[in-house]
Amino acid sequence: MVETRCWQDGSSAERDFPVEQVSDLVARDGAFVWIDFTDPQPADLEQVQEELGIHVLAVEDAVESGQRPKLDRYRDSLFLVVYDAHGPGKDGAIVTHEVKAFVTKHALVTIHGADFDTAAVQRRWDANSDLADHGVPWLLWGLLDAVVDHATSVLETIERDIDALEDDLFETGDPREQQIQRRSFRLRKALGVLRRLVVPTRDSVGSLLHGDAETIINGVRPYFRDVEDHLVSIADSVDQQRDAVSSVLDTNLNLASNRQNTVMKKVTSWAAIIAIPTGITSFFGQNVSFPGEGAWSGFWASIALTVASSLVLYRSFKHRDWL
């Protein structure tokens, strides 16, 4: 599936034209195009490779899934790989969509799967049509800005989940240790996805602003700086939230250990209290003569010792907060 658009002198000119016309369109003064491929095969990109002079190595990477986020520079074009993130869902997982792009002086070519929706990108272009005079850099900014906004939304959702997790951590009653651990590990996994697939885009945008400065027209440079600032903020937030999740896990383990210690103290205290009457009755049950044997005085003496000793131990353990 292929979608095409052309702009002429900052205004939208044509839509859904054949790829074969791309070279003719970009030859016009002030014209630039966007070509969007959904799940293309190598043969599908041969035409655009010929029309725009895309490097063969970039085309090979474009048809292979699982590329790392990067920006490769060739003689007449750039090859960009970014990941669009959504979620997390009910299972805590983040859904990512791999998006690849060829960037030339007069064309932006995007390649992605059927699960990526270009509507958000096109809405940004339409909402900022006053920047269309800047050509392909404006198209590239719209793509990057949409990806960064989605990542920011994901991060805000994760942050709310972490806050809820911290609130649940100190709830009285059922400690729900296993549930907290599962939620914590899901959040760590989600943050790991952002760190691996979204944060590296910061380096790509930095390269566009600095290493490939001639690619970015001065008029849209502030917009790319804004995208870079958002990516830097995302990177910092990911690290902070990973630390927060680790802190929740450590605190949960410490609370579980404290609860276990409390239980052990109570069990030990009651065992000591129970041991007193056991010892006393065992003493009075020995098969030798002793004062009070076979008399009511011995019986009451054993009862008195049992009650007095148990009360002393109970008050002592209670004073030490063991019971």
**Same domain for 122 and 42:** yes
Number of domains the chain contains: 2
CATH number, position 118:
3.30.460.20
The mean predicted confidence, pLDDT, of the chain is: 85
Rounded Cα distance, 307 and 305, in Å: 6
pLDDT at 70 over 70: yes
Query: Can you give the pLDDT at residue 97?
Result: 95
pLDDT at 32 over 70: yes
**Same domain for 244 and 112:** yes
Whole domain around residue 285: which residue ranges? 263-319
- Residue ending a domain, among 256, 291, 310, is 256
- Residue ending a domain, among 203, 237, 256, is 256
pLDDT by residue (tens digit) across 209-221?
886 556 677 788 8
- Residue ending a domain, among 240, 256, 272, is 256
pLDDT by residue (tens digit) across 49-64?
888 889 999 999 998 9
Question: Under 8 Å CB-to-CB from 208, ≥6 apart: which residues?
Answer: 71, 78, 140, 215, 216, 224
**Same domain for 271 and 245:** no
303 Cα distance to chain centroid: 65
pLDDT at 36 over 90: yes
**Same domain for 312 and 173:** no
**Among all chains, which residue has been given the structure tokens 């994760």?**
158
Query: Can you give the pLDDT at residue 289?
Result: 63
**Same domain for 92 and 195:** yes
**Same domain for 247 and 164:** yes
Query: Can you give the pLDDT at residue 209?
Result: 86
pLDDT by residue (tens digit) across 261-282?
777 878 888 887 778 777 777 7
SS3 17: coil
**Same domain for 309 and 237:** no
**Same domain for 298 and 242:** no
**Same domain for 205 and 60:** yes
Instruction: Give me the sheet containing 11-15, strands edge to edge.
Output: 11-15, 2-8, 31-38, 107-112, 95-103, 78-86, 70-73
Beta bridge partners of 73: 78
The model's confidence at residue 302, banded by pLDDT at 50, 70 and 90, is: confident
pLDDT by residue (tens digit) across 223-248?
999 999 999 999 999 999 999 888 88
**Same domain for 246 and 310:** no
**Same domain for 314 and 220:** no
The model's confidence at residue 141, banded by pLDDT at 50, 70 and 90, is: very high
Give yes or no for a contact between 101 and 140, defined as CB atoms under 8 angstroms apart: yes
pLDDT by residue (tens digit) across 156-192?
999 999 888 888 877 655 556 678 888 888 898 999 9
**Same domain for 188 and 55:** yes
Residue 291 or 3, more confident: 3
What phi and psi, each to the nearest 5 degrees, are found at residue 15? Answer: -135, 155
